[in-house]
Amino acid sequence: MKFLDLCKVHIRSGSGGNGSISFRREKFIEYGGPDGGDGGRGGDVWAEAVDGLNTLIDFRYQQHWFAKNGQGGAGNGRTGSSGDAITLRVPVGTEILDEEGEEVIADLSTLGERVLLAKGGNGGWGNLHFKTSVNQAPRRANPGQEGVERTLWLRLKLIADVGLVGLPNAGKSTFLAATSNARPKIADYPFTTLHPNLGVVEVDGREFVVADIPGLIEGAHEGRGLGDVFLGHVERSAVLLHLIDGTSGTLIEDWRTICNELEAYGEGLADKPRVTVLNKIDALDEEERAFLRDELHEAGAEDVRLMSGATGEGVIDVLRALRPHVQRRDRAEAAVADDDEGGSWQP
């Protein structure tokens, strides 16, 4: 299945049915009177976050979503049937934006969360609705209300606890493959990862989700390489795992490049907790490892770990360094949820 994280959709809610103009015509009833029923209500358009989806590819092949119109009223006071609502089933983590792509209308970050995108039109009143003591035979009815038509953007931001960042070939995909059941493409040339990958890792009985995104290069925020379009998938993470190729001859420049790109991207990524990892240490001796680690510390990197994704050396230590950040975020979210529930209760 292809990965798609941005698409445009056109939606339209159903129009309400027209009210009916009708009069009773029965043989032994002297004053029949009006009996036109109301029109049915148009169908709504909803969006719902569902399980089992991790891409918006379905919306590439179906971009128009129109709800059913309500049926018109009929004689004998019969109300028209309401139009069927439709639901756009989207992955958890989908943002819904306006046509310009600037205003976020909804952020479906929780499984089962629903939002009304377009309300169906009300049905028109039939002439029975207009009968009064001074107007016993009204000959008017209302038309149904028009539906709402909108153009929206859907933007997916994957839900992950840990975001992997680094230059191409820093070993991000190797790390993900070594610690989870994910099978990202691994090769000895840059940009082998062309779209984000998710993997579930476990350490000390605690599971969390890791997102691997395509590598960044200098100028990614200006569109160089694959650009920074995939950084949105690590915005929701609790901690960033910054991998650095220990065999690179420009270690400090590599570290600063990623830091600068995170800063240029914004959205709070530069302020997130970060674990810096010197990767590929299987190619380094003890003296080289200590020297490079000290260099990173002097440059300003904090919490520097040593690891080899290929041999597994230091991998558990890195996972244990990530775990407290994930737990801290989970506790904070749980506390906010408890406060919200407590604030809504009244004796």
List binding-site positions for GTP.
Answer: 166-173, 191-195, 212-215, 279-282, 308-310
Residue set of the binding site for Mg(2+): 173, 193
Q: Is the dihedral of CA 318, 324, 327, 328 positive or negative?
A: negative
CA distance 329 to 317: 20
Torsion of CA 101, 107, 109, 114, to 10 degrees: -120
Q: What is the CA radius of gyration of the chain?
A: 29
CA distance 142 to 17: 9
Which among 199, 9, 194 is positioned nearest to 95, based on CA atoms? 9
Q: Are 201 and 222 in contact (CB under 8 A)?
A: no
Q: Are 236 and 109 in contact (CB under 8 A)?
A: yes
Which among 89, 91, 134 is positioned nearest to 109, based on CA atoms? 91
- Residue 253, amino acid: E
Q: Judge residue 140's burial from the number of C-beta atoms within 10 Å of its C-beta, 0-12 exposed, 13-18 middle, 19 or more buried.
A: middle
**Cα→Cα distances 189→28, 202, 280, Å:** 91, 29, 15
Residue set of the binding site: 166-173, 191-195, 212-215, 279-282, 308-310
CA distance 184 to 169: 13
